[in-house]
Amino acid sequence: METQIQNLQDLKTRIAFLELKQLDDELVIKQKFQSIKDTLTSPLKFLKRIGSMVGITHNSGAATHSTSSTKADWVTNFGRVFLPLLLNKTLLRNRGIIVKSLVSILSQRTVNSMSFNKNVLVNWIDKATGFINSTKKKVKPAKQIDYGIPPGSETY
């Protein structure tokens, strides 16, 4: 579909038409991209809404805050992963999937860097070892038997 350009006015009109067509095509591509993006992120948005209803995540304006204000150390991350596994294997052994899921979500929520970190773990270990050491029976030192010879004397 060739357009016959005969003078300068036709050229300027064609350039303006092509610029408008380019803007229209860009708008259509952006809308399609946004539609695809919304389709792919809708399950995530659904889970975030469910989480905010349960109280797992909370949004403040445009920024999302994590469950703790300080950075989590390795003990906190370890606790977040293995505490739900430990609960599922011990206390929740013959429970349903819904109960296990809810307890896992709540246990991950409660393990934060303010309440469970290296210092807290060290304090717990110190208390446990102090308790174990205090419950051990103290052994009395053996009495020395006096044979009547002073220890510093020279005997031949």
Query: Which one, of 107, 123, 127, 119, lies nearest residue 75 by Cα?
Result: 119
What's the pTM value of the predicted model, to 2 decimals? Answer: 0.35
In a structure prediction context, what are the per-residue pLDDT tens digits for the chain, which is 156 residues long?
A: 677 889 999 999 999 999 999 999 999 999 999 999 888 888 888 777 776 766 565 454 444 444 444 577 787 888 888 888 888 888 888 888 888 888 888 877 777 777 777 888 888 888 888 888 877 666 677 777 777 776 677 665
Indicate the angle between helix axes 97-110 and 74-89, nearest 10 degrees: 160
Q: Which amino acid is at 135?
A: T
